[in-house]
Amino acid sequence: MKFGVVIFPGSNCDQDVIEVLSRTSQQPVARLWHKDHDLQNCDFIVLPGGFSYGDYLRSGAIARFSPIMQEVVAHANRGGYVLGICNGFQILTEAGLLPGALLRNIEQKFICKNVHIKPETNSLLPTRHLDVNKAYKIPVAHGEGRFFADADTLKRLNDNEQVMFRYCDANGNTEASFNCNGSLESIAGISNANKNVFGMMPHPERAADPDLGNLDGLAIFESIMDTVAVS
């Protein structure tokens, strides 16, 4: 399994993701420039966090038209794996690879802090080996992370086990008061209907090193690695 990390102008978490993937996969990870049309035979594509193109329009709205995204969309439509983290999640919704939208945080402020999220299911690749009864401490850093979708879309997400994470407290309680940005139903991450495209607002790559005193994010990457065959 070969991984590729897309780098846009304004990406600032690409190297963090590359470092984590390199350690957990024990193999080189390809850097994919936004102007490229070549995924370099990568099987799993990651869109990292940051501020693609400065977020001067709507977060992810410009990056969606990058040349590399034509290839990412085609890859996903063939069943290839894609993970978007924070800005990457926003790009995936703008590209139509994930349903819903990420709106301005409910308090109209940029949030940068540790939060807790709880996996909703073990049917998705990033949560396959996580404990659905455990709250994982993962940092967030976003101004437009409030997940929104219409009622029919929310029903499909829940019925098809596409909700990947919900915001919660340290004990796993998902009441609205523990929702850091006002996302509908405290949703922090989802998948597409085919369960090969994933998006989440929290940054697991920022909680994946013992020097940071937190390895909760590493568990998400290890869940991916333990499930896919490394080639």
Our answer to whether residue 205 is catalytic in this structure is yes
Taking residues 171-182, what's their average pLDDT? 95
Q: Number of helices (H) and strands (E) in the chain: give both, helices first.
A: 5, 11
> φ, ψ for residue 116 (rounded to 5)?
-115, 140
- What's the pLDDT at 231? 46
Strand partners, 148: 101
In the predicted structure, residue 70 carries a pLDDT above the cut 70 = yes
For 119-168, what is each residue's pLDDT tens digit? Answer: 999 999 999 999 999 999 999 999 999 999 999 999 999 999 999 999 99
What domain count does the chain have?
1
Residue 145: name the closest of 198, 93, 81 by CA: 93
CATH code of the domain containing 149: 3.40.50.880
Strand partners, 168: 116
Residue 191: name the closest of 164, 173, 223 by CA: 164
Our answer to whether residue 107 is catalytic in this structure is no
Our answer to whether residue 86 is catalytic in this structure is yes
Q: What distances in angstroms separate CA 171 from CA 46, 91, 136, 168, 203, one per listed residue?
A: 30, 31, 9, 8, 20
Contact criterion met (CB below 8 Å) for 31 and 17:
no
- What's the pLDDT at 3? 96
pTM across the whole model: 0.96
**Full domain range(s) for residue 200:** 3-227
For 179-231, what is each residue's pLDDT tens digit? Answer: 999 999 999 999 999 999 999 999 999 999 999 899 999 999 999 998 775 44
- What's the pLDDT at 229? 56
For 31-51, what is each residue's pLDDT tens digit? Answer: 999 999 999 999 999 999 999
Catalytic residue among 42, 86, 168, 180: 86
